[in-house]
Amino acid sequence: MASMAGLLKDRGFKITGSDSNPYPPMSTQLESLGISIMKGYKAENLHPKPDFVIVGNVISASNEEAQELMKLGIPYTSLPKAMGEFIIENRESVVISGTHGKTTTTSMMAWVAENAGVKPGFLIGGIPKNFSQSFKNPEDNYFIIEGDEYDTAFFDKVPKFIHYRPKHVILTSVEFDHADIYKDLDDVKKSFARLMDLLPENGTLLACAEDANVMELRKLTKCKNSFTYGFGAEADFRAKIMFQNANGLGFEVHHRGEIMGPYAMQITGEYNVLNATAVVAMSKMLGFSENRIQIALESFEGVKRRQEILGEPNGILVIEDFAHHPTAVRETVKGIQKKYPGRKVFSVFEPRSATSRRKVFQKDYVEAFKGSHEVLLAKAFDQTKIDEENRFSTHELVDDLKKTHVTAADFDTADDIVAALKSKAHKGDVILIMSNGGFDGIYTKLLKALE
């Protein structure tokens, strides 16, 4: 929503907005753009009356401000529909979708397209460091967008990507997520099946061969340019890692007897090699030059809140990541521990997403943290609206982790975690903080405590 606000402000509109709990980096992006945020949802926020309202998917029909919107009869729409109609229009829409890796892959794709000289527009659910903001209006015929499967609005219960006019799609992964709106994995698959159906015959699909659900869904597309990417020999675009260390990684891509690359990147992790391979493959399909792809990947700086180094006070490296789904947590922890061999990694996790606060992934998090050096868990964020028997339990997770010989503990507050880390962490250690929210300001609190 902050990105949409930026796109429209850039086009000359006067923008205001409401949010219950704005937090960085999006809140600071809006502030820098001169877009004021009214904290809390209130009827008075719609006075004086705006000309048009875009309603976010967090808003329910009973929301006070939504009720006032209906009462006043102001024209309104959803964010995805506005994107399709006002911004993407008839452009070449490149949609990056899947349970994991969307933000990083979309940022990477946008940076490669920028370097290729096609002057793309983009909308991303995070802030790519190469651009310093999460949006850009298109100057030419390409628009690159993160295609989320979450629903659109209370009056438009379809996945967001339905409105993004997809012509070229990267599908990274399909797992169960968003337990607040999807009842099971089959329900999630139905959403992605709609995406496959929307792809035109002259479109492009890059599907991750490492994911069985993606391979199953791929069969549903009618587009003729359908390819797979992955590490296995069966992939149309096969990635081969050349090296991986604290400075980054190198890889090449094999395609029908051709070796593409080598490519070097500052970010690490096998999942990022897959993300980059998808971008390389899509870039080739779109006709971008090999040299431009190499330059772009080597200079890609990553995304805020994704493996972002916050500082190294007294030699203790503090890294922030958005990981919240068990698979993302597992791959992030594994990637960071591999990136910094010989250094102890404290994995700090806040169950904050709608799914992670529920019991559905209780046992999956045991597998996600297996092999971790040490785990510190925050109490799950606001479970008041979840039935007690369906609530995620950090106590249970700690007990299960100890049975696998992982040192683990849970804490009531972010301040308690900061105090524990201040006493436990030593020079040379790494602290990895994973949350998809503000985490009660733990980032600045921890850096200050460790100084």
The verdict on 248 and 319 lying in the same domain is: no
Say whether 108 sits in a helix, a strand or coil: helix
The verdict on 281 and 333 lying in the same domain is: no
- The span from the CA of 364 to the CA of 352, in Å, is 16
Of 266, 299, 332, which closes a domain? 299
Which residues are 241's β-sheet partners? 251
Check residue 267 and give its pLDDT: 87
The verdict on 118 and 219 lying in the same domain is: yes
Q: Which residues contact 407 (CB under 8 A, 6 or more apart)?
A: 373, 374, 375
Indicate which CATH number applies to the domain containing 386.
Answer: 3.90.190.20
Check residue 234 and give its pLDDT: 94
Is 417 within the bounds of a domain? yes
Check residue 437 and give its pLDDT: 83
Instruction: Return the amino acid letter for 54.
Output: I
Is 252 within the bounds of a domain? yes
Check residue 319 and give its pLDDT: 95
pLDDT tens string, the chain, 451 residues long: the values are: 888 999 999 999 999 999 988 877 778 889 999 998 999 999 999 999 999 999 998 899 999 999 999 999 999 999 999 999 999 999 999 999 999 889 999 999 999 999 999 999 999 988 899 998 889 999 999 999 999 888 889 998 899 999 999 999 999 999 888 777 778 889 999 999 999 999 999 999 999 999 999 999 999 999 999 999 999 999 999 999 999 887 889 999 999 999 999 999 998 888 899 999 999 999 999 999 999 999 999 999 988 888 889 999 999 999 999 888 898 899 899 989 988 999 999 999 999 888 888 888 899 999 999 999 999 999 988 888 888 888 999 999 999 999 999 999 999 999 999 999 999 999 999 999 999 888 989 999 999 999 9
Of 30, 54, 74, which closes a domain? 74
φ, ψ at 404 (rounded to 5°): -95, 15
Check residue 106 and give its pLDDT: 97
φ, ψ at 64 (rounded to 5°): -55, -45
The verdict on 316 and 181 lying in the same domain is: no
Predicted TM-score (pTM) above 0.85: no
The verdict on 118 and 229 lying in the same domain is: yes
The verdict on 295 and 317 lying in the same domain is: no
Closest Cα partner for 222 from 166, 176, 262?
166
- The span from the CA of 365 to the CA of 330, in Å, is 8
Of 74, 105, 137, which closes a domain? 74
Check residue 443 and give its pLDDT: 94
DSSP state of 446: H
Indicate the number of domains in the chain: 3
Q: Domain span at residue 54?
A: 2-74
